[in-house]
Amino acid sequence: MKTDNRSPVVWVLTDDRPGNSTQSLGLADALGWPYVVKHLGFSRLAWLHKIHERLLGATTICLDRKSSQSLVPPWPDVVISAGRRTAPVARWIRKQRHEKTKLIQLGRKGSQAVQPGDVSIAPGYCRMWPNEQRIETLAPLNRVNNQQLEAAAQEWSDLYQDAPRPHMVLLVGGSTVRNVLDESVARQLGTDVAEFVKKTGGTVHAVTSRRTGNQATEALSEALGNSGIVHRWMPGQQPNPYWGYLAVADFIIVTGDSESMVGESVSIGKPVFIYVLPEKPMTLFARLREAIVVAGRASLHEHHHGSYWGRGLRSFSAYLLRQGLVRPLRDLNAFHQVLVEQGFAYFFGQDHKIGTHKPLRESDVVSQKVKSLLGFLNS
């Protein structure tokens, strides 16, 4: 591919999902190109994304114009986005420039339908199929860097004041499609962490998130008792001590439901303990979808094996995957396991000898691969 030496004009599309925005901005920072952030708000039509994407393709129909920044010429050379809602908007921008804009799609939902000229970035636990335009990572990309951590450590140096060491932070997510963090589970989490503190000594502070919910927060606080305090998430709360805790805590305990919090935790370079939440039973629809994913992935990895009908079923399943009609489920257990196996984390509750920890920083390597794929290697 011919290499362009100039720095491209870059737009980064963000939404109200912090996990999406931190991936896109983290990559944009690592690329080192000047960029403009375009924050997008979405209407209720975004819930019907599968319908309007099939009927209209590249579209901005789901945007809330009042809460979205304007999308007007001059159009960018590169658009970076993450998540299913920003993907059709990115394709619409490319259409305005007669397909000359190059797209970088991050994550499982936004990067499923990779088109020629695009770059897709997704962690291995998203179980996507091989594609020469897709870059696979261990964890979601983020914005963690040494300068940010040093600044946060100075700003939040008194979080624990004179409390006994080690200083621990418990990062708490919430219930998802796959995991449960209800009142009962939150109480068990608090009990387990309180017992851990009694064995190790020290002080624990818990930080909840917008998915935790009031009932789970109350149960967690009651179970922790005098062992620690709970910093409760509040909408729009500023300043937010999240990065301060990551910077000043001696080690981190994080619930395994949140890909972003786990990924950011292992990027710090401190001992990280993953607290695995219980999984919900798979519904009949989920089991059917999983069967299609397994068959489709088999078709994409095999050549003419099995009976005629078996090959046909796998080929049809592969078509459903490529078209985005069926999306693979994340395998968070595999995510946790690879982090533990490669020494970036421990499972909470298992016996282990804590050693030194190198941070998981993938953005720089990924950014070089992106530049090579897009033809901007020397920029």
For residue 104, the model assigns a pLDDT of 95
Q: Please tell me the distance from the alpha carbon of residue 177 to that of residue 282, in angstroms, as a whole number.
A: 10
DSSP 130-177: P-TTEEEESS------HHHHHHHHHHTTTSSTTPPSSEEEEE-----S
For residue 2, the model assigns a pLDDT of 46
* Among candidate residues 229, 222, 188, the one with its CA nearest the CA of residue 206: 229
Residues in the chain: 379
In which region does residue 132 sit, left (phi positive, over 0), alpha (psi from -120 to 50) or beta (all else)?
alpha
Q: Please tell me the distance from the alpha carbon of residue 9 to that of residue 162, in angstroms, as a whole number.
A: 49
Contacts 24+ apart (CB under 8 A), 369-374: 369/135, 370/27, 370/31, 370/104, 370/119, 370/121, 370/135, 371/31, 372/1, 373/1, 373/119, 373/133, 373/135, 374/8, 374/78, 374/102, 374/104, 374/119
Residue 29 has φ and ψ, to the nearest 5°, of -60, -45
Task: Look at strands 251-255 and 167-171 and give their pairing.
Answer: parallel
For residue 301, the model assigns a pLDDT of 62
DSSP 323-335: TTSS-PPP-HHHH
pLDDT in tens, the chain (379 residues): 445 567 899 999 999 888 899 999 999 999 999 999 999 999 887 776 655 566 666 788 889 999 999 999 999 999 999 988 898 899 999 999 988 999 999 988 766 556 767 899 999 998 887 788 889 999 999 999 999 999 999 999 999 999 999 999 999 999 998 899 999 999 999 999 999 999 989 999 999 999 999 999 999 999 999 888 999 988 777 788 999 999 999 999 999 999 999 999 999 999 999 999 999 988 888 888 888 888 877 776 655 555 555 677 788 888 777 766 777 888 999 999 999 999 999 999 987 777 768 899 999 999 999 999 988 866 6
In which region does residue 102 sit, left (phi positive, over 0), alpha (psi from -120 to 50) or beta (all else)?
beta
Q: Please tell me the distance from the alpha carbon of residue 228 to that of residue 109, in angstroms, as a whole number.
A: 37
Paired tokens of 154: 């100075």
For residue 379, the model assigns a pLDDT of 61
For residue 177, the model assigns a pLDDT of 86
For residue 48, the model assigns a pLDDT of 66
Residue 298 has φ and ψ, to the nearest 5°, of -65, -40
